[in-house]
Chain A
Amino acid sequence: MASVAREWREIPGRYNTVGTKCGACGKIYFPARSLCPKCRRASVGKMERYDISEEGEVYTFSVVHDAPDANMRMKPYAVGMVKTTDGVLLTGQIVDIDPHRIEIGMPVRTVLRKIYEDGESGVIHYGFKFVPKW
Chain B
Amino acid sequence: MVKVGIVSYGAYVPRYRITPEEIGKVWGVDGKGMGRGLYILEKSVPHPDEDVATIATEAARNMLARTSVPADRIGALYVGSESHPYAVKPTATIVATAIGASPRMTAADLEFACKAGTAGIQVSMGLVGSGMAEYAVAIGADTSQGAPGDALEYSASAGGAAYLIGKKDLIAVINKTVSYTTDTPDFWRREGQPYPTHAGRFTGEPAYFRHINAAAKMMMEDVGTQPSDYQYAVFHQPNGKFPTRVAAGLGFTEEQVQTGLLTPRIGNTYSGAVPIGLAAVLDVAKPDDRIFVVAYGSGAGSDAFDITVTDGILEYDRDAAPTVSKLIEDPVYLDYASYAKFKGKIVMQE
Contacts and interface: CB of A to CB of B under 8 A. Distances in A.
Interface string B93-125: 010011010000000000000000000000000
B98 A113 contact: no
Nearest to A54: B61
Interface in B286-328: 322, 326
B94 A126 contact: yes
Nearest to A124: B85
Contacts of B332: 96, 98
B57 interface: yes
Contacts of A69: 348
A72 B348 contact: yes
A124 B54 CA distance: 11
A74 to B, nearest CB: 5
Nearest to B94: A126
B48 A126 contact: no
B66 to A, nearest CB: 13
Nearest to B12: A111
B47 A96 contact: yes
A129 B15 CA distance: 15
B100 A134 contact: no
A115 B48 CA distance: 10
A72 B48 CA distance: 10
B15 A16 contact: no
Nearest to B348: A72
A39 interface: no
A114 B344 contact: no
A112 B54 contact: yes
A69 B57 CA distance: 25
A112 B58 contact: yes
Contact of A111 (B48, B54, B86, B348): B54
Interface of B: 15, 47-51, 53-54, 57-58, 85-86, 94, 97-98, 100, 322, 326, 332, 341-342, 344, 348
13 contacts: A11-B97, A73-B344, A73-B348, A111-B54, A111-B58, A112-B98, A113-B49, A114-B49, A115-B49, A124-B53, A124-B86, A126-B53, A126-B54
Given A11-B97, A16-B98, A124-B86, 9 more contacts: A15-B98, A69-B348, A72-B348, A74-B49, A93-B49, A96-B332, A98-B332, A111-B54, A134-B322
Interface of A: 11, 15-16, 69, 72-74, 93, 95-96, 98, 111-115, 124, 126, 129, 134
